[in-house]
Chains A and B, each alone.
Chain A
Amino acid sequence: MKYRIHTVFVLSLLLLCSAFGAAEPGGNGDSIQDMQCGGACHGDASINETSGAILTLSSPATIYVGIPTTLTLSVTNIDTSTTRLVGLFLLTDMTGHADTPQDAGWEILSDVNGGVMNYIEQTLDSGQNETSISWVIRASTLGTTTFHAAIHHGGGYSTPFFGTTATGVEVIVESVPENLPRLVADFTPPTLRALDTPTELNIQTQFTDSMQFEWKSEDGLITNSPVNSTGNNSWTTTIPAALQPTTVQWRVILEGVGPEQTTPWFTLAAEENSWEVAENAVYLQAFALLFMTAGIVIALQTRFISDSRTSDNSAKKYGGEQV
């Protein structure tokens, strides 16, 4: 009876401990995610709480098909866990399934962390309770889309929090006016670059007579770089090398017969060169470790057994007592 009580007590303790492992307090990393990602772990009504964060999504007044545009999400009144980590979603409906911008025919060209993801994680500074991030997106078809944003984060006592924008932002995609200076429809900005190497950008445009190039570092200082024409509506420019992992943002101002156009800020992150190793050496060493450990265990085991048998036989032979 006593053991049963102990067993029940230990099992109950283990079940209670499971609450401390709720969700993933270290985050998931930036990725393409439906709302279900936050809704599953942070949206379960039985274990979650509604986030007190206020989310405001905004978009430009006019959006043209095939032309990059910026959606900005401002979040205030954030109260997070000790990790200060928040996850932010850009969504096109609130069903929890197939609700990413890609599902609605939009393309994410750039996110604030130097990727092309609709789910972004940010670690806030101590005392920081608001943030603002943006996505550069591009519509492939005419029509109306309603965008939403969501947030999930931790809180006290490992409670997961989940919140969404109060109302969606409706954007209407219009056809492009004639002669509007613009980037070519299939232009894809780079999002990553290596350290210690200047980045040369080749930019293709349409209906453009001249182009200005601006880039800004994380401190917000805007710098102009010279632009060279390499042909009709073809331009090249260079962003100086980054000496450490950091992000810069760049945009171009296009002039032509039509009205002047300024592209959104595209984010370009610098990262260290990818880690490399001689894979054959790794596989060889891995198999060496396998055979060495198995061989040592078996060799020692047989030795210990035969030693004990020898000592047993010796003891019998000389009339000693067996151990």
Chain B
Amino acid sequence: MISSGTFHVVTTELVVGAFSVAGLSFTLCLLIHLDILKQPSWSTMLDHVAHFTLAFGLVATPFAILSGLSSAPGEGLNSPILVNKMFFSMTGFGFALGCLLARWRLGNKVWSTTKSIALHGASGLAASGSMLLTASAGGTFARGESLLDIFHLPYEHVFLFPVLISAIALLLGMTMLVLGWKRMNDSSTVH
């Protein structure tokens, strides 16, 4: 039986590796679709790589979160860094989920207009960025240092909403997700 600490290392490496490749692929996709990088033949390959690695990272994320919580010293969320890690990872999970659902239901249309390209690329990059921030916070928590220390990120401060605001935001988010899903289904069946 492996310890949760070892399992956390394995899962975080999967998550960080997958999201890093996804972030790089989304960047190149954006550059190609915005006509900055003149390599249109790479477009399909990068699109597939970006979304596959994003999906792979998304599958590994819950395991990383759960093993991280159980391997943290002490009981529960006893450090502001752990709370920020939770917020970053769930935000990244949301961005990745939205990005993948949009690509699944809308297909290549996500790359059809400038606004859509910008939004899709930004959501993929935001997912990758959130996960890398999570990993950075993990490094700060476990070793007292991380690669992103040069930005002096305020991991020690937690921006915690009142419960009522969080509940409203949760309901609002779920409503938007359901309505968006229905609109996407309508949109994907109209050709």
In the assembled complex, the Cα of A273 lies from the Cα of B66 at a distance in Å of 26
Could you tell me the distance between the alpha carbons of A279 and B78 in the complex, rounded to whole angstroms?
A: 9
Interface contact A301-B83, CB-CB below 8 Å: no
Counting CB contacts under 8 A, is A209 at the interface?
Answer: no
Which of B80, B101, B170 has a CB less than 8 Å from the CB of A291?
A: B170
Binds B, one of A109-117, A250-258, A280-288: A280-288
Closest chain B residue to A287, Cβ basis: B170
Contact A297 B116 (CB under 8 A): no
Chain A, interface SS category: helix
Chain A, range 123-144, C-beta contacts under 8 Å to B: none
Indicate if the CB atoms of B76 and A279 lie closer than 8 Å: yes
> Which of A5-13, A189-197, A304-312 lies at the binding interface?
A304-312
Question: Are B80 and A275 interface neighbours, CB within 8 A?
Answer: yes
User: Could you tell me which residues of chain A, from 264 to 320, have a CB within 8 Å of some CB in chain B?
Assistant: 274-302, 304-309
Asked if A24 lies at the interface with its beta carbon under 8 angstroms from chain B, I say yes
Q: Tell me whether A292 and B160 are in contact (CB under 8 A).
A: no
Task: Evaluate whether A24 and B143 lie within 8 angstroms (CB atoms) in the complex, with A275-B78, A292-B94 already known.
Answer: yes
* Minimal Cβ-Cβ distance residue in A for B169: A288
- Binding site secondary structure of chain B: helix
Beta-carbon contact of A295 and B98 below 8 Å? yes
Q: How many residues of B contact A (CB 8 A)?
A: 54
Query: Which residues from chain B sit less than 8 Å from chain A, CB to CB?
Result: 74, 76-80, 83, 86-87, 90-91, 93-95, 97-99, 101-102, 106, 109-110, 112-113, 115-116, 119-120, 123, 126, 143-145, 158, 160-163, 166-167, 169-170, 172-177, 179-181, 183-184, 187
Determine the distance from Cα of A293 to Cα of B145 in the docked complex, in whole angstroms.
29
A175 neighbours in B (Cβ, 8 Å)? none
Residue of chain B at shortest CB distance from A302 = B183
Q: Are A28 and B78 in contact (CB under 8 A)?
A: no
